[in-house]
Structure 1
Amino acid sequence: MGVIRVHEFTTVDGVVDAPMWTMDYGFPDDLATSIGALTAPATGILLGRTTFEMFAPAWSTRTAEEDPGAPFFNDTTKYVVSSTLTDAEGVWRNSTALGGYDADRIRALKADHDLYVSGSATLVRGLVDDGLVDELHLYVYPVAVGSGIRLFPEGRPQTKLALLGVESLSNGVAHLTYGPAA
């Protein structure tokens, strides 16, 4: 059985959308190493359509010389959860459209793969609700932006998690790792 590891850049007030606010904090070696530890065991990338469509133009033309993460993102099979996207391969090589969210389909995919998820807030909410997330990695930036998409927006039912780890990074970011509550 595989695992699903989720990676989110977030602010202290929980905003996860279009994280341009990360630019002010750089991408130091310890952050790269931390994220590399999440991607290294992955045999597949699971993304929601919006994140997939943001990542495709950003990553598909990058080379390893430009960014050491490029081979992972370009060579690893990407599974896209979308009820509207039908030709993921036409957008970004090594990509497959899974259709709309289906917990059983993702459970079957997880049975054969260690999956890495980045962004994809709507997808992640469903994965958490269905008990499919093994590790939720929150990279909390020391900034509050006041508005934007939150991973757990107001009005959701309470979600209990168990703290698995804490890492302080050189750029002031706190890496918090959570798993399912016992």
Structure 2
Amino acid sequence: MLEELSLKNIGGLNSASIQLSGRFIAITGESGAGKSSIVRGLEFIGGKRAQSELIKVGENEAEVQALFYCPASLKLPEDICPEEGNLFVKRIFSRNGRGKTFLQGKLVPLSTFSESVGALLRIQSQFAQLELLDSDRQRHILDSYGGKDIAQIQNNLRVIFTEALSKERELRDMESRQKEIIARYQHAE
């Protein structure tokens, strides 16, 4: 559960800090109040790819920090231990495309960060349902419920499909060579 969120240089915000409580949070406000900047910060802390154009104009770097109450069942890297059930996360990104991600103050790869924090945060925005129109996204959602059995079937299917493509290429090459040979020797008698 997200307990605190701090943003710096995201969208139109210089800085903002929010303390939250409850499992369901709704962000409302007037146009231009910074709702979208808060949502972007939540997306970044959830592991979404950072976009330099969302860094505040005139600044070179943006930062998002969050404090989560962390369930004991959450899978974290071995060297990351929540303190008193709290997980502190931080993400910094810059206009030059470089970024840093931290769990409990330790620098970690973005993929590790995304896997860990992504399980703690779900964002539903007015356009989030559009992701469901992406067939790859739909397949990923369905396949994720199959566990190891589906993963093994996918792997087997991938091997068979790759082999079938190779055989199809071989067949086309043989047919092409056959046509060349027939054309070359068609008038030979």
TM-score over 0.5 for the alignment? no
- Structure showing greater Rg: 2
Higher relative contact order (CA 8 A, sep 6+): 1
Structure (1 or 2) with the greater helix fraction? 2
Give the TM-score normalised by structure 1. 0.29
